[in-house]
């Protein structure tokens, strides 16, 4: 059940993100909803499941938009692994931490892409990057995280309840 | 199982990370057609992307048609007038073509206007994010579309195909920072390379680099693909120069190019196969 719902969630997000959601972009910046889902999932379920979801999401992006296999896979994989590590240390009901983590992850994600551009194609315009990409992405991501995290949180609660019944945990 | 994971967690994660890096290194930079895994994913995802884009277009067009019927009638009248004018012009040009053919045969020049076999296609998904400009189109190897074919729109070049699956293809526009198109200026014949740049990408502009420092290129010049490329056929128009600057090294210049095609609002494209040159009648 959880597997099916998670796969469906990732695929639906991928389809929407590459088609409809692009119209909501402000100055061609729209938060990476796939990253928000991956990070939220890692925060809710820990690094192991987060890693799997992250790698799968990254694989989708690699297959459809990457020129080399593995770049996005590794990036999403690493980000979900490190956010998943901190899962035990916070209350899930609190919204502040997911917002913080998602914004931070989005920042790191953009920064790595900037680094790749800088190292591989010497296209490094740090001022343009910070003002036009880095800051807007962080702010916009923080805003969009709230509804997405709410949905994922509700879904997770529901699934956990079902799992508890299934395995007679109480 | 869980215990095994806990014991060897670091090793497993390390091995997976190394495997991904190895795959990236081996598969990197190759323009191959899609592998089995990619084809399967494409088979699952692309129909839905197609559907979503279709619904979006339908909603768009319904809303538009309800909104401005009067504007449409006006536009219709205008278009009819234009059509009449164009038909007239076309007749005149046909006569020119005939005259040209006759004169060329007199001069024994075999003049060839390149005309390639083409397939119409639609964009069904775009790469999210501000860094790269790649997109998915709804034609694949089933429709004889394959890697390294060229995409054009009325006006000029759009990009090339990176990879083809059975029912979809992955394409890269000339605004993408990984794309490079050997180009030249029509008026002066100066050579250069049109590259994408992420700082210009979101304004729909690109950059022509490595122009000779003493080149006579000027603002407003038309830029076309040069014969130095083995992917892009020569003579396809790209755009016009809007700005020229000297590089920091002082030896070369670069120009900012405004493509003739509005690459930010693309919908329908043509895929051309440069290996099927059909001679103009």
Note the pLDDT tens digit of each residue in B35-90.
Answer: 677 777 777 778 888 888 888 888 888 877 777 778 888 888 889 889 888 988 88
Handedness of CA B119, B122, B128, B130 (dihedral sign): positive
Rounded distance, CA A49 to CA A62, Å? Answer: 20
* Min distance A166 CA to chain B CA atoms (Å): 19
Cβ contact (<8 Å) for A18 and B125?
yes
Q: What is the CATH number of domain B116-281?
A: 2.40.10.350
The chain B residue lying nearest A106, using CA atoms, is B129
Question: Is residue B281 predicted with pLDDT exceeding 50?
Answer: no
Sort strands B206-212 and B222-225 into parallel, antiparallel or unpaired.
unpaired
Rounded distance, CA B189 to CA B193, Å? Answer: 13
Question: Is residue A89 predicted with pLDDT exceeding 90?
Answer: no
Cβ contact (<8 Å) for B126 and A22?
yes
Average pLDDT of the segment spanning B245-264: 87
pLDDT band of residue B106 (cuts 50, 70, 90) is low
pLDDT band of residue B111 (cuts 50, 70, 90) is very low
Question: Is residue B207 predicted with pLDDT exceeding 80?
Answer: yes
Cβ contact (<8 Å) for A15 and B21?
no
| Encoded tokens for A59 | 């694989």
Highest mean pLDDT among A61-65, B53-57, B170-174: B170-174
Q: Cα-flanking dihedrals φ and ψ of residue B260, to 5°?
A: -70, -30
Lowest-pLDDT choice from A128-137, B53-62, B180-189:
B53-62
pLDDT band of residue B257 (cuts 50, 70, 90) is very high
Q: Give the pLDDT confidence of A10-47 residue by residue, as tens digits.
A: 999 998 888 888 888 887 788 889 999 999 999 888 88
| Encoded tokens for A79 | 């980000």
Partnered with residue B269 across adjacent β-strands are B121
Tell me if A60 sits within 8 A of A101, measured CB to CB: no
Q: Which residues of A touch B136 (CB under 8 A)?
A: 18, 64-65
Mean of the per-residue pLDDT values of chain A: 87
Rounded distance, CA B46 to CA B39, Å? Answer: 10
Residue from the list B5, B38, B48 with its beta carbon closest to the beta carbon of A63 = B38
pLDDT band of residue A109 (cuts 50, 70, 90) is very high
Q: Exposed, middle or buried by CB within 10 Å (0-12, 13-18, 19+), for B168?
A: buried
If residue B163 lies in a helix (H) or strand (E), which one and from where to where?
strand B156-164
Average pLDDT of the segment spanning B161-166: 88
pLDDT score at A33:
92
Tell me if B199 sits within 8 A of A128, measured CB to CB: yes
Sort strands B191-195 and B115-126 into parallel, antiparallel or unpaired.
unpaired
Tell me if B160 sits within 8 A of B172, measured CB to CB: yes
Rounded distance, CA B185 to CA B190, Å? Answer: 5
pLDDT band of residue B255 (cuts 50, 70, 90) is very high
* Helix ranges restricted to H, chain A: 2-18, 33-45, 47-65, 71-85, 96-121, 126-128, 135-166
Q: Please check whether residue B77 touches A, CB under 8 A.
A: no
Rounded distance, CA B237 to CA B174, Å? Answer: 12
Average pLDDT of the segment spanning A144-166: 89
Q: Exposed, middle or buried by CB within 10 Å (0-12, 13-18, 19+), for A86?
A: middle
Cβ contact (<8 Å) for B48 and A29?
no
Average pLDDT of the segment spanning A134-146: 91
pLDDT score at A37:
93
Cβ contact (<8 Å) for B177 and A117?
yes
Average pLDDT of the segment spanning A142-158: 91
The chain B residue lying nearest A77, using CA atoms, is B17
Question: Is residue B264 predicted with pLDDT exceeding 90?
Answer: no
Average pLDDT of the segment spanning B157-186: 89
pLDDT score at B112:
42
Question: Is residue A81 predicted with pLDDT exceeding 70?
Answer: yes
* Min distance B135 CA to chain A CA atoms (Å): 7
Q: Please check whether residue B56 touches A, CB under 8 A.
A: yes
Partnered with residue B135 across adjacent β-strands are B126, B171
Tell me if A157 sits within 8 A of A125, measured CB to CB: no
Mean of the per-residue pLDDT values of chain B: 82
Question: Is residue B108 predicted with pLDDT exceeding 80?
Answer: no
Q: Exposed, middle or buried by CB within 10 Å (0-12, 13-18, 19+), for A43?
A: buried
pLDDT band of residue B113 (cuts 50, 70, 90) is very low
Q: Please check whether residue A108 touches B, CB under 8 A.
A: no
Tell me if B175 sits within 8 A of B204, measured CB to CB: yes
pLDDT score at A170:
60
Q: Cα-flanking dihedrals φ and ψ of residue B272, to 5°?
A: -115, 145
What CA dihedral angle connects B83, B89, B94 and B97, to 10 degrees? -130
Question: Is residue B19 predicted with pLDDT exceeding 50?
Answer: yes
Quote the Cα angle for B256-B262-B264, to 5°: 95
pLDDT score at A39:
92
Question: Is residue A108 predicted with pLDDT exceeding 90?
Answer: yes
All structural domains of chain A: 2-166 (1.10.1760)
Residue from the list B17, B52, B170 with its beta carbon closest to the beta carbon of A15 = B52
Sort strands B169-173 and B206-212 into parallel, antiparallel or unpaired.
unpaired
Average pLDDT of the segment spanning B179-191: 89
Rounded distance, CA B279 to CA B112, Å? Answer: 6
Lowest-pLDDT choice from A12-16, B82-86, B106-110, B221-225:
B106-110
Tell me if B155 sits within 8 A of B260, measured CB to CB: yes
Q: Cα-flanking dihedrals φ and ψ of residue A68, to 5°?
A: -125, 135
Selected residue with higher pLDDT from B216 and B24: B216
Question: Is residue B260 predicted with pLDDT exceeding 70?
Answer: yes
CA A162 to mean position of chain CA atoms = 25
Domain ranges in chain B?
77-111, 116-281
Q: Give the pLDDT confidence of B125-134 residue by residue, as tens digits.
A: 888 877 888 8
Q: Name the packing angle between helices A33-45 and A2-18 (round to 10°).
A: 160
Rounded distance, CA A49 to CA A96, Å? Answer: 22
Average pLDDT of the segment spanning B1-23: 80
Three-class SS state of B35: coil
Mention every residue, 6+ apart, whose C-beta is less than 8 A from residue B135: B123, B124, B125, B126, B127, B170, B171, B173
Rg over CA atoms, chain B: 24
Question: Is residue B34 predicted with pLDDT exceeding 70?
Answer: no
Tell me if B157 sits within 8 A of B166, measured CB to CB: no
Express as a percent the part of chain B with pLDDT over 90. Answer: 9
Selected residue with higher pLDDT from A135 and B28: A135
Q: Please check whether residue A4 touches B, CB under 8 A.
A: no
Average pLDDT of the segment spanning A101-128: 86
Tell me if B244 sits within 8 A of B225, measured CB to CB: no
């Amino acid at each position: 059940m959880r597997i099916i719902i998670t796969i469906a969630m990732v695929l639906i997000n991928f389809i929407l993100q590459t088609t409809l959601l692009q119209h909501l972009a402000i100055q061609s910046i729209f938060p990476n909803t796939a990253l928000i889902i991956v990070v939220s999932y890692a925060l809710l379920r820990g690094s192991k499941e987060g890693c799997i979801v992250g790698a799968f999401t990254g694989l989708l992006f690699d297959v459809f938009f990457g020129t080399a296999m593995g770049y996005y896979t590794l990036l999403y994989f690493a980000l979900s692994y490190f956010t998943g590590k901190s899962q035990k240390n916070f209350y899930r009901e609190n919204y502040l931490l997911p917002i913080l983590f998602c914004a931070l992850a989005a920042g790191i994600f953009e920064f790595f892409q900037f680094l790749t551009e800088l190292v591989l194609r010497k296209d490094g315009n740090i001022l343009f990057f910070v003002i036009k990409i880095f800051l807007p992405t962080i702010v916009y991501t923080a805003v969009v995280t709230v509804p997405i995290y709410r949905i994922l949180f509700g879904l997770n609660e529901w699934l956990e309840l079902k799992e508890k019944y299934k395995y007679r945990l109480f | 199982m869980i215990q095994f994971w806990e014991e060897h967690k670091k090793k497993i994660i390390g091995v997976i990370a190394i495997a991904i890096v190895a795959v990236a290194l081996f598969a990197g930079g190759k323009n191959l057609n899609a592998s089995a895994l990619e084809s399967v994913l494409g088979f699952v995802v692309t129909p839905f992307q197609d559907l979503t884009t279709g619904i979006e277009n339908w909603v768009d067009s319904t809303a538009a048609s309800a909104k401005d019927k009067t504007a449409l009638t006006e536009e219709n009248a205008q278009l009819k007038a234009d059509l009449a004018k164009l038909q007239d012009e076309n007749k005149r040009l046909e006569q020119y073509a005939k005259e040209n053919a006759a004169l060329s045969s007199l001069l024994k020049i075999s003049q060839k206007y390149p005309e390639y076999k083409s397939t119409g296609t639609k964009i069904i998904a775009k790469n999210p994010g501000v860094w790269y400009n790649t997109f998915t189109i709804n034609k694949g190897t089933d429709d004889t579309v394959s890697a390294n074919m060229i995409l054009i729109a009325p006006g000029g070049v759009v990009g090339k195909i990176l990879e083809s699956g059975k029912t979809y293809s992955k394409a890269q526009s000339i605004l993408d920072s990984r794309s490079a198109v050997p180009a030249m200026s029509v008026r002066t014949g100066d050579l250069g390379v049109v590259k994408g740049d992420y700082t210009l990408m979101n304004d729909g502009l690109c950059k022509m680099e490595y122009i000779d420092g003493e080149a006579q290129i000027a603002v407003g010049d038309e830029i076309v693909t040069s014969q130095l490329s083995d992917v892009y056929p020569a003579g396809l128009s790209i755009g016009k120069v809007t700005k020229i600057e000297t590089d920091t090294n002082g030896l070369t210049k670069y120009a900012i190019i405004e493509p003739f095609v509005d690459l930010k609002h693309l919908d329908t494209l043509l895929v051309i196969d440069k290996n099927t040159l059909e001679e103009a009648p």
